[in-house]
A and B are shown apart, each in its own frame.
Chain A
Amino acid sequence: MENSFVLRAGERGHNHIRSDGSTSSYVAGHPEGFITRESSFNFAGYQGGRPGFGPIRVFGEEVFHGTGCGYNMHPHHNFIIACFVLQGELTHVNTAGNGMVDRLHEGDYYVFSAGSGGKHSELSITSEEMHAIYIWMMPEQLYLPPTYVRAHFDFRKRRNRVEQLIGDSDGALPIAQDIRISRLISDAGKNYTYTPRSPSHGVYIFVLEGAVRCGETQLGRRDSTGIWGVETVDCTVTADATDILIVETIMVDETRIKEWEKQHPGH
C-alpha cells in the first residue's frame, strides 16, 4: 500500500541552542556562539512532530554561528551519525579507532558509527557560518566496533545523475544498516526514476536547494517527503541547480512511529 507524508520547510522543529546558561557545557563558542537546528523529526528540545522514518531518528539542518561554535566533546553509543557539510568548515574530533581530527568542507561528508561507544566534538573554527545536514540512524546491531569514514562529493563532476554516497554501491561509504543515501544535483526539466531495493523500503527526499516534483507533490527549498510502499519514485526537477538528498531505508516496524501515524492521519 502506498504511503507518504510531506513536510514543508517551515513545519520542521526549530531550536536555538545557546553557548551560555544551561546549554553552555554542550555548546561551544561563548560569548557569540549559538547553534540553530531545524529538525524533520522529533529530537531533543523538539517533540512536536513525526518520531522518525524507519530506523532514522534525526534529520537535522544545523548552522553553527560564530567563531569557535559547535558541540563540545560528548559521548554516543549505537547511533550511526552521517553529516553532510554544505557551507563553511567543520572541524571534527573523533575518538573512533585511534582517534582523528578531521576538517570537512562543502561537499565533504562522514559516517560515524558510535557502536560500543565513542566521543566526538564538532566545531566551526573559522569566522564563516558552518551549515550541515545531520542524519542519525539506528544500527543493525548494538555495540558494533566504533568506526569513522569520510568522503567527498564533487558536484562539478557528478551532475544530472543520482549518486549514491552511503550504502552498498561501488565507492559509497559503508553503513551497518539497510540504508542508501544519495545526492542529486540537476538542471531543470530532467526526469529521474528512483527504484528502492523493494516496495517495503521507504524513500525520504529532502530538497537542499531548488525545486522538484515527486509524483503529484511539488517540493521547494528545504521541503521534504517520505514515500513507502511503492515500486518507484518519479521526480521531475523544476529549477536549475536543484540539489536533493535521497535516503532509502528499510521500514522497520517501530511501535512509536506507528502509534504516531495512527494519531496523525494524513501526515
Chain B
Amino acid sequence: MTDAAFKRLMCLGCGFSYDEALGLPEHGLAPGTRWDDIPETWVCPDCGTPKNQFEMVVIGYAQGGPALAGAA
C-alpha cells in the first residue's frame, strides 16, 4: 500500500478519464487501483488507445462529476 495522492489520467485518443480513487468498477478495476498496477497491455475501454497514451492531469471535477466518472 502507498499513501501517495491518487492520480487522474486522461486518454489522449478520446478524453476518457481514469481516476485511481474511483477505479472503473464497470471494467473490473476496483476503487483505489493504482495506474502502475494496471497491466501495460490495458487499453482505453472507449477507444482502444494504448495505456502509454494516457496523460496524468491535475484537473478538478465539475459538480457531480465523480459520481458519473465512477460509473463510466
Contacts and interface: CB of A to CB of B under 8 A. Distances in A.
Contact of A142 (B46, B49, B53, B61): B61
B14 A76 contact: yes
B27 to A, nearest CB: 14
Nearest to B48: A26
Interface residues of A, number: 28
A140 B57 CA distance: 11
Interface string B51-68: 001011101111011101
Interface stretch (A111-119, A179-187, A221-229, A231-239): A111-119
Residue of A51, A74, A78, A256 with most chain B CB atoms under a 10 A cut-off: A78
A263 interface: no
B60 to A, nearest CB: 6
B12 A78 contact: no
Contacts, number: 71
Contact count band on B? 20 to 34
Contact of B17 (A42, A51, A75, A78): A78
A103 to B, nearest CB: 24
A145 interface: yes
Interface in B15-72: 15-17, 46-47, 49, 53, 55-57, 59-62, 64-66, 68-69, 72
Interface of A: 42-44, 47, 51, 57, 74-79, 114-117, 136, 138-145, 254-256
Given A57-B12, A142-B62, A143-B62, 16 more contacts: A44-B13, A44-B49, A47-B53, A75-B14, A75-B46, A75-B47, A77-B16, A77-B17, A79-B14, A138-B57, A141-B61, A141-B62, A142-B60, A143-B68, A144-B62, A255-B56
